[in-house]
Chains A and B, each alone.
Chain A
Amino acid sequence: MRQKELKLVVTFHTTADAMAMEKACKNAAVPGRLIPVPRMISAGCGLAWCAGLENRAQIVGLMEQTGIEQEELHECMV
C-alpha cells in the first residue's frame, strides 16, 4: 500500500476547473494528479489537484497564467 505523504492539495469551485487544471499541468509538464477532494478538507465530492509541496510556486504561477481560480490551497496527508 502507498504510504501517505504531506502534499499540496488545490481545491476548486467546480469539477470543470479541476479538469482544466489537469490539462494545463499536462501541457506545462507540471507534475501532479487529480484526486477526489480529501474528506478531511470537505464533505463535498469534487475533484482536487494533488502535487508535491516543492511544486507550489510553479502551480500558483500556472493558475495565474491560465486564469484557473482556486478555492483553497491545502497541505495535507494524501
Chain B
Amino acid sequence: MFAVVRELEGSAQLLVHAIRRIGVLLLPPVAEELVRQVYFTGASATGGIMLRGAFIGTLIIAYVIEVLNADASLAVRLLLLVVLREVGPLIAAVLVIQRSGTAVATELALREISGEIANLRRMRIDPRDYLVVPRVVGMAVSNAALTLHVQLIAVGGGMVLASLIINVPFEALLTHFFLLASPLDLVYSLIKSLLFGAAIAVVACYHGLNPRGRSINAVPQAAIRAVTEALLLVMLLNVVFAYLVYGVAFLGLVTAEQ
C-alpha cells in the first residue's frame, strides 16, 4: 500500500516536471518524440475502436427502447449522458492504457536497463525532458482526440445502426440529439480525457524509469505495475471528477438532472 502511494507520488512529481518544462517541446528532438507519441497513441489506435464504439451506442439505444420500452428522447438522453460524459473517456483511457501505457513502460524500462537513459545523462540531456514531457503531452492530447473519436462513432454510429436494427427512425434520434446535446458535455469530457491521458503517461513513465532490478524480468513487471496503477488512477480520477462536477463544481450547469 505504501509502495503504491510512493509510486503515485513519484508519478505526480513527473507530472509537475512535465508542466514546468513544457517549453522543451520546442526543441527539435523533443518535438520529434512528441510527433511519434501522438502517432502511436492517437493515429494508429483509431481503427480498432470504430466497431466497439458503434456497438456500444447501438446497445444503449436498443436497450432503452426495446427492453425499457422508453421513447427515442430518453434513449438519446442516456446515450449522451453515458457516452459523452462517462463511457467515451473511459473507453479511450482503457485503450490508451492497454496500448500505449504498456508500450511506454516497457520501452523506458528497456532503455534504463540497457544504459540508454545513462547515455542521455552523459549527453547532458535530462531523460525527463526528452522522454517524459513529450509522452505526457502526446498521450494527453491523443487521449482527448481518441475520446472525441469514440464519442462521434458511438453516438453517430449508434444512431445509424439502431435505426437499421430496431424500429426507430433515424430522423427522430437526430432531432432529439440536436435538442439535447450541449457543448458543455464535450468540454467536460475533453478536460477529463486530457487528465486521464496525462495520468496514464506519468504512471507508465514512472514505472518505466524505475524498474525493480536490472534483469530483463524487470521489464514486464514494470509494464504490469504501470497498467494496474494507471487503471486504478483513472477510476479514482473518474470518481473524483464525477463528485466534483455533479456535486459542487460548474455551478450546477452539468448535472444528471439536465
- Are A and B associated in one complex? no
Q: Taking beta carbons and an 8 Å cutoff, which residues of B are in contact with A? A: none
